Amino acid sequence: MARSFAVLAALLLSLGIALVLPQLVLCVATMTHSEGQENFDPSLSTPTLTHEYEVFVSFRGADTRTSFTSHLFAALDRERIGVYRDDINLPRGGEIGPELLKAIETSRIAVVVFSKNYGTSDWCLDELVKIMECKKLLNQRVLPIFYDVSQSVVLEQKGIFAEALLKGPEDKVNNWRAALTEAADLAGLQLEKYSLESEFIEEIVENIWTILNEESATAPSRRQIDVSAQHSEPIISPQNDASSRQNHISEWTPFFFFSK
């Protein structure tokens, strides 16, 4: 009799363990999952970049705000190309620096209008550094425009560019030099002497339109004209040789910034 009770007790004990063990495992798994959720760092996830603008234009306001760049903005508006404007898009009372830096990051193309006094603006140069960072990290496109200044002057920091850098803060000058060299070494567009600015602006817009539609092999051109007949021509080669320039829009590498 005693032996029967012992066997029955053993069976009941085994049955109890079998019923409790799955619940115990589930409880431990739940605790582990919860702990993992608490330790998760959202900053480690890769954010998805959203483009708010198609174009961001970096320029020296004192040189071109009321002339060349104002006509460029008007041409982009006519083509319904979304462009960032500091006088329209920048909230009143907001911090100019962070707002413009965000605009650069969320633009598909950066157009840098190099003019004679571009290098005299610390803010322009800081913007340019940010643009080149976005080119490397976000694969942003950069299109340099040489307006009333040659590519070689910007590339090698000659003349007023050299003078401006000599007066710059030591902790920024090296970054400024690197950004100027990298940006000017990209293929871009040069306004040639005696050429019409209106035609030059049309060519810029055509290049921008080509970039925006380059993923589509059948994207039509908005100007069915012979680009080689234009007075201005793209700078195709990154070398300092004027003879290396060719009239092929499709071969330049695009990217921009705002000036004060």
Q: Taking the alpha carbons of 170, 112, 257, 131 in that order, is the dihedral positive or negative?
A: negative
* 3-state class percentages of the chain: helix first, strand second, coil last, to nearest 5: 55, 10, 35
Closest CA to 203 of 132, 143, 139: 143
Closest CA to 58 of 124, 148, 151: 124
Which entry of 54, 105, 127, 203 is annotated as an active-site residue?
A: 127
Q: Could you tell me the two tokens for 229?
A: 């007949």
Cβ-count burial 15-27 (b if 16+ within 10 Å, e if not):
eeeeeeeeeeeee
DSSP 8-state code for residue 220: P
Cα-based angle 14, 15, 20 (whole degrees, multiple of 5): 100
79 has catalytic annotation: no
Between CA 174 and CA 172 the distance in angstroms is 6
DSSP 171-200: HHHHHHHHHHHHHHTS-EEE--TT--HHHH
Task: Give me the residues paired with residue 233 across strands.
Answer: 190
Residues with a catalytic annotation lie at 127
